[in-house]
Structure 1
Amino acid sequence: MTDTPLPDSALRGAVDLAALAKAREAERASAQRKASGAPTAIAVGEANLQALAEQSMTVPIVIVFTSSAAPASETLALDVERLASEMGGFLPARCDVDAERGMAQAFQINAVPAAMALIGARPAPLFQGSASEEQLREVLGQVLEVAAQAGIQGPGAAGAPGAADEPAPEPPLPPLHQEAYDAIERGDMDAAVAAYDQALTENPKDADAKAGRAQVLLLQRTQGADPQAVRAAAAAAPDDVAAQLAVGDIDVLGGQIEDAFARLLEIGARVYGDDRDAVRERLVQLFDVVGPQDPRVVQGRRSLAMLLN
Structure 2
Amino acid sequence: MASMGLSIDEQKAVERFRQSVAEPSMTQLVVLDFWAEWCGPCKALAPVLEKVCGEYADKGVVLAKLDVDKEPFIAAQFQVRSIPTVYAVFQGQPVADLTSARTESQLRAVLDQLLAKLPIQPGGVPVPDLAPLLAMGEEVLAAGEAERAQSIFAQIMEMAPDSAAAAAGLVRAMLAAGQVEEAEGVLGALDPGLAADPLIAQARAALELARDKPEDSELAALQAAAAAAPGDMDAQFAYAGAAFAAGQREEAADVLLRMVAADRAWNEGAARTKLLQIFEAVGLEDPWVAATRRKLSTILFG
The reply to whether TM is greater than 0.5 is no
Quick check: which one's helix share is greater?
Answer: 2
For the aligned pair, the TM-score class normalised by the smaller chain equals 0.3 to 0.5
Q: Whose Rg is larger?
A: 2
Q: Which has the higher contact order (CA 8 A, sep 6+)?
A: 1
After TM superposition, the score normalised by the length of structure 1 is 0.39
